[in-house]
Homo-oligomer: A and B are copies of this chain.
Amino acid sequence: MDWSRITRPTLLLDEQRCRANIARMCNRASAARVALRPHLKTAQSRIVAAWLREHGVRAITTSSLGMARYFAEDGWDDITLAFPFNPREIDALNAFPEHSRVQLLVEHEDVVRWLATQLRRPVDLWLKIDTGLGRTGIEWHDDDAIAACVRAARASHNPRLRGLLTHAGMTYAASSPDDIIRMFSLSLDRIAGAAARHTDGERLLVSVGDTPGCTWAQSFRGADELRPGNFVFHDCMQLQLGVCAVEHIAVALAAPIVALHARRGEVVVHGGAIHLSKDALTRGDGAPMYGLVCLPEERGWSAPVEGAYVRGMSQEHGILRLPEQVLRSLHPGDPLLILPVHSCLTAQAMRGYRTLDGNPVDHYAAVAEI
């Protein structure tokens, strides 16, 4: 790694770590004989997607229609848009690259019926099920609403109903791996139960997935596919949850020091909210923590500096607490590495990466329509 090239905030991607993360999740899914449809909202990158393809991945998930098109135009032909369909995007949907199969989420029978009158291309449908997160979806026990959607979908040839889909995001509030296992398993039982109750001839498939659950679950019985996303990079949030080790975190923001304040035990870097995002974890003392701090090394970055963390952020400033002996060895301009709290948002904010060899890696946000 040529650290003299780092002149401004730069998001570094450790390709080896990322490829190892991909191999680990792919092996897990294949050992469990369940399909893997990774959520690409984390990396949003054609290059990272190609690393997934090397492991046999052929189907992907995105969180917007624009992101789906970005991958469709790169040859991906089986894409689930895992976000409740926005009717205002019907024209963009009908104009979607023909070669690619598109799967949509709905959660109301009216939208199912409306789609049947509007679609000018084949579309597969998943009913979004809320298994306890309370964000989107039909509640898993609301059999009337599920049945109404199933009936509406079965009444037309297009869209074609595939099954039920959920995101057990509750696992992000888990207090231990056992807690993750329990939450994921409860969510899977709930959706698999609903799918069994509403299967009428053609079996309703079950799609689940979140990185904590897919990492720790002891059984995927009842699930047909997994849609984890964050696992390609991991971050401080996954680390705190016990979902990854610190050496699995595959991205770090390189941020040059602009001010040293030895008396306060702090340095200020060029690298703030517009680079890292404002997602924070809460420290034991109740204060927010916006990232862990590492030092540059010949082949990437060090383990996090003991006692060091990002204690504050403004638009372009990051304020880092550092132990005195580390601080004394630093100079203005030196890059420090910050492991992000939430790598999806950091990647989105940075809109691109550099590998440790200095090669650029794409991100959809760099070309997304404004």
Measured CB to CB, the residues of A under 8 A from B are 6-8, 41, 63-64, 66, 83-89, 91-92, 107-108, 110-111, 128, 134-137, 169, 256, 258-261, 264, 268, 270, 273-274, 277-279, 312, 314-317, 319, 332-333, 344-345, 348-352, 360, 363, 365-366, 370
Contact = CB atoms under 8 A, between A and B. Distances in A.
Given A83-B258, A135-B268, A136-B258, 16 more contacts: A6-B88, A8-B88, A63-B316, A64-B270, A83-B316, A84-B268, A87-B256, A88-B256, A88-B333, A111-B332, A134-B264, A135-B319, A136-B261, A274-B365, A278-B279, A352-B370
A61 to B, nearest CB: 12
Mostly helix, strand, loop or mixed at chain A's interface? Answer: mixed
A345 B314 CA distance: 10
A341 B111 CA distance: 32
Nearest to A369: B8
Interchain residue pairs A-B with the least CB separation, the first 7: A87-B333, A352-B370, A84-B258, A7-B88, A278-B278, A88-B333, A136-B259
Nearest to A316: B63
A200 to B, nearest CB: 25
B86 A278 contact: no
Contacts of A84: 258-259, 268, 332
Given A87-B332, A258-B86, A352-B370, A7 B274 contact: no
Contacts of A349: 349
B86 A270 contact: yes
